[in-house]
């Protein structure tokens, strides 16, 4: 045992007989760590999304018995504002935040290309993690992060709130019961429209190398001179983001995979382009497409179509098409309608030609995470490491396929993207 390592309060409660006895009558979501143990949280990245998390966490902190003890951002005005708002200690380096040794969980809301490494470092530092989507930028990072989470036995939730939508859990149960028959193909979509282009967030002209750690922002990205546009509008550039795929497709693909019970993909390809938002006059025009389509073939003989645009906000409805019936996500739940060929059998079995199922009750995404931090029941997570890894592989493959103009395959044995389909084992 490392006697120089701070004794984490969680470990003390878990290993003390008195603590175990005191927990026996606690509510289920508090019992594993104790009703009287106040947890300590950190927030890494307090920009647009991170500031929203800070506000939400402050509202939840009393009920769920935790406090924000540390905040971090490489842009000094942001971390100063967050520290003042929360009373937490501010850090410019997330490694220093993790080195405290007393944090129970962290929320990661940095630019996308940092999510994977920060997740790995956080779980190795003994923290549970709520990481904004996408979980990582690339597939190999997702593999490494998944391995780290499992090895360290930490709770990790990927921040795609759509998996907290009880309609997809109702769809999951219906599909598992065979109500659509053999699954054939599914569709989903997430579209928006902008006059002047998505992700053209406000740029703070006061930012400079003196108050913004540019080298830290770049991380493993290609070296380049200080560029405010790249920092404040990072989603427009390949080095830091996968554009629509990582920002929006992750949100809609994860719940579909949850509903259909899919495994890793077999084959992925993508199309689209910058059809409208070419950023005329911008010092750094966008690189990612404003319209993006993906086709995913699953090994269980099922295809998924994702079609999205940031230049027209009409999206496709979420549908799961089976050989015998089609399941649609409705306003309040799901509806299952038989194919004409199977209507008579459907009505004979169910007594009606449309089955309507209400959404299943689910906690909101952050509350789901906070409760699971206490119970340690990973299976209760809306989007834990298993679903997060499978979703990330599909997303990463779609971006790579688009950029390289290829059809790509997943080698399930090696857990890596390949250009030729692996031979099936006899």
For the 9-162 domain, the top CATH level (class) is: alpha beta
What pLDDT, on the 0 to 100 scale, is given for residue 12?
38
What single DSSP character describes residue 424?
P
pLDDT at 33: 53
Distance CA 40, CA 310 (A): 39
Degrees, nearest 5: CA angle 162-165-168: 95
Per-residue pLDDT of the chain (426 residues; tens, 9 = 90+): 333 334 444 443 333 333 333 334 444 444 455 556 999 999 999 999 999 999 999 999 999 999 999 999 999 999 999 999 999 999 999 999 999 999 999 999 999 999 999 999 999 999 999 999 999 999 999 999 999 999 999 999 999 999 999 999 999 999 999 999 999 999 999 999 999 999 999 999 999 999 999 999 999 999 999 999 999 999 999 999 999 999 999 999 999 999 999 899 999 999 999 999 999 888 899 999 999 999 999 999 999 999 999 999 999 999 999 999 999 999 999 999 999 999 999 999 999 999 999 999 999 999 999 999 999 999 999 999 999 999 999 999 999 999 999 999 999 999 999 999 998 876
Task: Give Cβ neighbours of residue 185 (< 8 Å, ≥ 6 apart).
Answer: 302, 303, 304, 305, 321
Sorted by where each begins, the domain ranges of the chain are 9-162, 164-362+384-418
The pLDDT value given to residue 34: 54
- pLDDT recorded at residue 35: 53
Report the 10 Å Cβ neighbour count for 356: 13
Q: Where are the alpha helices (DSSP H) in 106-138?
A: 115-124
Q: What fold characterizes domain 164-362+384-418?
A: Dihydrodipicolinate Reductase; domain 2 (3.30.360)
Which residue stretches of 261-363 are H helix? 343-350
Distance of CA 268 to the CA centre of its chain: 20
The Cα-based distances of 413 to 136, 296, 385 in angstroms read 21, 19, 18
What string of DSSP letters covers 161-206? GGGG-HHHHHHHHHHHTTTT-SEEEEEE----B-SS-TT-----TT
Q: Of 302, 197, 290, which is closest to residue 248 (Cα–Cα)?
A: 290
- Neighbour-count burial of 296, counting CB atoms closer than 10 A to its CB (0-12 exposed, 13-18 middle, 19+ buried): buried
pLDDT for res 283: 87
């Amino acid at each position: 045992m490392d006697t120089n390592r701070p004794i984490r309060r969680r470990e003390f409660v878990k290993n003390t007989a008195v603590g175990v006895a005191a927990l026996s009558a606690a509510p289920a979501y508090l019992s594993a760590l104790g009703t009287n143990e106040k947890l300590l949280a950190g927030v890494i990245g307090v920009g647009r999304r991170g500031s929203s998390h800070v506000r939400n966490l402050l509202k939840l902190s009393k009920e769920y018995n935790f406090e924000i003890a540390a905040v971090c951002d490489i842009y000094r005005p942001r971390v100063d504002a967050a520290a003042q708002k929360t009373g937490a200690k501010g850090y410019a380096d997330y490694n220093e935040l993790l080195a405290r040794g007393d944090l129970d969980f962290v929320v990661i809301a940095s630019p996308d290309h940092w999510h994977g490494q920060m997740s790995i470092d956080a779980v190795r530092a003994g923290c549970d993690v709520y990481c904004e989507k996408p979980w990582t930028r690339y597939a190999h990072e997702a593999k490494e992060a998944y391995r780290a989470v499992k090895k360290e036995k930490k709770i990790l939730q990927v921040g795609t709130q759509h998996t907290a939508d009880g309609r997809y859990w109702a769809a999951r149960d219906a599909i598992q019961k065979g109500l659509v028959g053999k699954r054939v193909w599914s569709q989903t979509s997430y579209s928006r429209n902008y006059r002047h282009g998505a992700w053209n967030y406000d740029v703070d002209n006061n930012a400079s190398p003196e108050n913004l750690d540019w080298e830290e922002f770049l991380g493993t990205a290609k070296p380049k001179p200080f560029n405010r546009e790249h920092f404040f509008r990072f989603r427009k550039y390949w080095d830091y983001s996968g554009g629509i795929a990582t920002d929006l497709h992750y949100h809609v693909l994860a719940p579909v995979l949850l509903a259909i019970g899919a495994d890793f993909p077999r084959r992925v390809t993508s199309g689209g382009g910058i059809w409208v938002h070419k950023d005329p006059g911008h010092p750094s025009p966008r690189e990612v497409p404003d319209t993006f389509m993906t086709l995913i073939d699953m090994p269980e003989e099922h295809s998924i179509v994702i079609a999205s645009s940031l230049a027209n906000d009409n999206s496709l409805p979420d549908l799961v098409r089976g050989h015998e019936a089609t399941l649609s996500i409705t306003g309040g739940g799901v509806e299952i309608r038989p194919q004409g060929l199977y209507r008579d059998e459907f009505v004979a079995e169910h007594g009606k030609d449309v089955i309507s199922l209400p959404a299943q009750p689910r906690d909101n995404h952050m509350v789901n995470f906070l409760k699971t931090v206490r119970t340690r029941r990973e299976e209760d997570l809306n989007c834990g490491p298993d679903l997060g890894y499978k979703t990330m592989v599909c997303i990463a493959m779609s971006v790579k396929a688009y950029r390289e103009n290829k059809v790509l395959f997943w080698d399930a044995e090696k857990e890596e993207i390949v250009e030729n389909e692996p031979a099936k084992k006899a």
